[in-house]
Every structure is written in structure tokens, then in C-alpha cells.
Amino acid sequence: MKNTVYLYVFDTMADWEIGYLIAEINSGRYYKKGVMPLKVVTVGITNAPITTMGGLTILPEIELEECNANDTAALILPGGNTWTEAIHAPIIRMAEKYLEKGIVVGAICGATIGLAMEGVLDQRGHTSNDLEYLKMICPNYDGEMYYKQECVVTDGSLITASGIAPLEFALHILKILDVFSPQTLESWYNLYKTQESKYFFELMNSIQ
């Protein structure tokens, strides 16, 4: 059973971009009945501690080579300031292999730049922070015809998002992982999007 969600962690990682997502995946508090719990596992280039953009220190639980595709439900790639650097090439290769296997890969903000630089987005529907910026920073990028001017895009098992859409990013990934009922997912999203109390009661009723 695929019950592991790998969260790639690295220095300068934009920690807030994956906050909604990992909290709901790891807590399982709104999972629909009968769904096997998923576990978030942090994975680093090495097992050395990393420092996020928010100043948090994270000790990766495993290194890249320890990842097991047979157990993987999803691979999450947060944004950060270093995605143009070659140090991330191994995780991009792993993401590409996972996509070929139909495993969910979620990339937000700077992580979409990493994918674009390696040609992963050239033939897949996707978005990023801005098309013109993506073309400028990734000279080899050839996926303009697949770019969508939306805050988040799902194409098969690939989810890409702008850095200002962490809630929508979480929505799309939770939907494709199918761990919430449709009613729960809609109420959950509406609650955080609108801050209207009626959606809290809808959310609570949906998990009864």
C-alpha cells in the first residue's frame, strides 16, 4: 500500500507554502472513513540539518537514495531560493521517474523552475509564478504552449502552483490523493478561503 508522502527539504525552503498540505496529510483529522493514514517523511539531499526560509531547522529523516517508489503516494517539492542550482538535479530526476510511474508530484513556486529547467514541463500542463519570468530564468524551457495562467494546475499526476497559492496547492493534492470526501474537501477549502464560520460547521458535519 502506498502510504508515504515524501517532503523534499533543503536550505531556503519556503516552509509556509506546504503548511496547509502537510498538516492535513499527517494529522488525518478529516480523512474519510476507511482511508489508510498517510505519513509525511522528510527527505534531504543528505541527512544534514537544513534551515528553512522561516528560520526553522529540520533534520531530514532519510536521504534521497532511501526513497522507495513502491511505497510512495506523493512527492512534494516546496519553493525556495536555490532551485536554479545543480544541487537539486537528483530530486528532479526522481520526480520525473515518479511521474512516469503515475505517482503524484506536487511542485510549488521555485520548484516549478527546477522542473522547467530540466524539461519536465515541456509537454505537461503546468503553471508557475509568471510565464515571462519562467522563460527568462530558464533559457531551455520549451513548454510555453502548455503553460496555464492559473494559480494551480493538475495534469495527470503532476500538480504545479504559484507561490501565492498554498491553499489551492493543498486542495489539488488532497483531491488527487482522495483522502477527503468531496464534501469535506469543499468545506475545508471554503473555510480557509473565506473564513466564514458556516463552513466550519459544514466541515464538522461532513466527517460525522
Active site residues: 109
For 75, the 3-state DSSP assignment is strand
- Residues 6 or more apart in contact with residue 174 via CB below 8 angstroms: 21, 24, 25, 180, 185, 188
**DSSP H or E stretch at residue 105:** strand 104-108
Q: How many CB atoms lie within 10 A of CB 70?
A: 9
Which cell numbers hold the place of 38? 498517510
3-class DSSP state for residue 108? strand
